[in-house]
Amino acid sequence: MHVAVYSIFAVSKSEPLASTLERVHAAFTAAGFGEPSIQFRLSDHVAITEPAILAETHGMKRVSSVARVLQRFPEMQQFARAAPATASGPGATRVLSNLSATGPVIPANFATLLEIARLVPKSLPFHKAWFQFAAPGFSDGPAMPAVLDQATASQLLRAGVDLGAGHPTTPGVSVQDSWWVNGRVRSMAALRIVEADPSARKFPPPPAAVAAVLAASGKIRKTTQVPVVVAAEPTSPPPPRIDAAASAGGEAIRAVVRTWRARLPELQETLPHDLSPRDAAAAAMPASGPKKPELVRAFAPMGYDCHGGIGTFRLRRRTAANLTVELDLDVGTWSNALMAFFRVQGLIDGQGFKATLNLPPARHAVRGTVHGAEIYGQFPIGGPERWSQIVDNLAALVAALDRDFVPEVEAAAGPSPEWYRPEA
């Protein structure tokens, strides 16, 4: 089976974009790959055409970085084109790219791209500047499509691949520098396609040359494994099959999930703390302070580790059957409110699956319908005492799910390979 391995690097916005590109390029040549294949896409902001919006933004100066590049580097004219702002929405933007809609890549001069990168973002404030370096050693299988179809992109996003951050969809190392409301955002990631044996105990290590490139590119902060199906003919590859197939095992897992989603209201009534979801005082409170200590208090004795991000926490453990059990908490990405998801992940028939439940933080948490599915909405956290009570409620739910739900999923799915870790 083939597994797409995403390595996400820690990056520093203080490092000039050109320095990052030089470092990655030098890593490929030093590792013996020679001159890597380079893909790039440099895009302006979306052009505003609606009269009402133009009236609201009158006086706002917005430059075209593409126009500035073409004026200074006329040889880049062959890469200029207009592109839709989104796959289906209105609006258009000007781009420079050597990746056409049908996939073939036009060779680009790295020295010119490096000169352009030296001007980002001060002279060239591109909306997005994306570069990818590739070499044959990054894939154990046939070539993957240079341009994703919509179904494949959707499946990768559901598997946790951040395409918006410029994560690659073909083997190699990508670097992206982009605009955001609070400043420039930098990201770097690598993709390898690895042929893995489900019966093996260990995952195959990268070849020495690939390992050298990864080591020189920076510190890896996260690695994600995504099972994929790679066609023998690169011209017509099928999309990665990320969710369990409609097999007997896959249907058995879905049946377990449906049963437990129906049982959640019953479990709600057993929670130790009766908290109101419409507590105006709690909703108006600022962030409740450090949240990790309470999570560690409640979940470490249950075998869960705890890792935090910006407004998120993930608590994770492994089962004896090598499934990954995860509690995913959004504790205030945009507000001082909670959403909680409990999931079991593993492999079945060579494909990844996620058995997911949306958890209620309290007895009277509000349950609504989103796109035809019932889901518990955001729950106000409030102060430290209320947060401690919410954690107690979540721990009670997880204890019940660990006792019954997880074994039922394990029985339906069977064991996963010891090396398979959806997110390590």
Kindly indicate the confidence band of residue 257, based on its pLDDT and cuts at 50, 70 and 90: very high
3-state class of 83 per DSSP? Answer: strand
Between the alpha carbon of residue 411 and those of residues 282, 354, 416, the distances in Å are 41, 14, 11
Examine the domain organization and report whether 224 and 266 are in the same domain.
Answer: no
Tell me the pTM.
Answer: 0.75
**Structural domain span for residue 331:** 248-413
pLDDT tens across 24-66, in order? Answer: 999 999 999 999 999 999 999 876 444 444 344 444 456 899 9
Between the alpha carbon of residue 306 and those of residues 298, 324, 335, 355, 411, the distances in Å are 11, 14, 21, 20, 26
Tokens encoding 397: 């739910």
Helix (H) or strand (E) holding 154: helix 150-158
CA distance 100 to 83: 11
Residue that finishes a domain, picked among 197, 228, 259: 228
Examine the domain organization and report whether 310 and 177 are in the same domain.
Answer: no
In a domain, 132, yes or no: yes
Residue that finishes a domain, picked among 199, 228, 257: 228
- State the pLDDT at residue 247: 64
Examine the domain organization and report whether 139 and 264 are in the same domain.
Answer: no
- State the pLDDT at residue 280: 62
In a domain, 242, yes or no: no
Measured in whole angstroms, the distance separating CA 270 from the mean position of its chain's CA atoms is 35
CA distance 358 to 283: 21
Tokens encoding 376: 């518990």
Measured in whole angstroms, the distance separating CA 261 from the mean position of its chain's CA atoms is 25
Residue 370 has pLDDT above 70, yes or no: no
Residues in CB range of 286: below 8 A, 6 or more apart: 336
Between the alpha carbon of residue 287 and those of residues 284, 332, 379, 388, the distances in Å are 9, 8, 13, 13
Asked if 380 contacts 279 with a C-beta cutoff of 8 angstroms, the reply is yes
Query: What is the number of domains present in the chain?
Result: 2
Examine the domain organization and report whether 196 and 64 are in the same domain.
Answer: yes
In a domain, 209, yes or no: yes
Kindly indicate the confidence band of residue 388, based on its pLDDT and cuts at 50, 70 and 90: very high
Buried b (16+ CB within 10 A) or exposed e, 208-229: ebbebbbeebbebeeebbbbbe
Kindly indicate the confidence band of residue 369, based on its pLDDT and cuts at 50, 70 and 90: low
In a domain, 277, yes or no: yes
In a domain, 238, yes or no: no
Tokens encoding 328: 């995913």
Examine the domain organization and report whether 208 and 302 are in the same domain.
Answer: no
Tokens encoding 191: 């993709």
Asked if 95 contacts 78 with a C-beta cutoff of 8 angstroms, the reply is no
Task: Specify the higher pLDDT residue, 401 or 239.
Answer: 401
Among 48-52, 369-373, 403-407, the range scoring the smallest mean pLDDT is: 48-52
Interstrand relation of 37-43 and 128-134 (parallel, antiparallel or unpaired): antiparallel
Kindly indicate the confidence band of residue 242, based on its pLDDT and cuts at 50, 70 and 90: very low
pLDDT tens across 143-199, in order? Answer: 666 666 665 666 666 666 777 777 888 899 999 999 988 789 999 999 999 999 888
Examine the domain organization and report whether 219 and 286 are in the same domain.
Answer: no
Q: Which residues sit opposite 370 in a β-bridge?
A: 373
Q: What is the mean pLDDT of the chain?
A: 84
- State the pLDDT at residue 91: 59
Examine the domain organization and report whether 153 and 206 are in the same domain.
Answer: yes
Tokens encoding 87: 């796959």
In a domain, 419, yes or no: no
Helix (H) or strand (E) holding 130: strand 128-134
Examine the domain organization and report whether 293 and 384 are in the same domain.
Answer: yes
Residue that finishes a domain, picked among 193, 228, 263: 228
Q: Which residue has the tokens 């309470």?
A: 294
- State the pLDDT at residue 212: 96
In a domain, 236, yes or no: no
Question: What amino acid occupies position 406?
Answer: V
Examine the domain organization and report whether 120 and 59 are in the same domain.
Answer: yes
In a domain, 326, yes or no: yes
Task: Specify the higher pLDDT residue, 143 or 416.
Answer: 416
Q: Which residues sit opposite 134 in a β-bridge?
A: 37
Asked if 63 contacts 125 with a C-beta cutoff of 8 angstroms, the reply is yes
Kindly indicate the confidence band of residue 217, based on its pLDDT and cuts at 50, 70 and 90: very high
Examine the domain organization and report whether 37 and 183 are in the same domain.
Answer: yes
What is the sign, positive or negative, of the torsion defined by CA atoms of 232, 420, 306, 335? positive
pLDDT tens across 76-97, in order? Answer: 999 998 887 555 555 578 999 9
Examine the domain organization and report whether 95 and 174 are in the same domain.
Answer: yes
Examine the domain organization and report whether 266 and 315 are in the same domain.
Answer: yes
pLDDT tens across 317-349, in order? Answer: 999 999 999 999 999 866 788 999 999 999 988
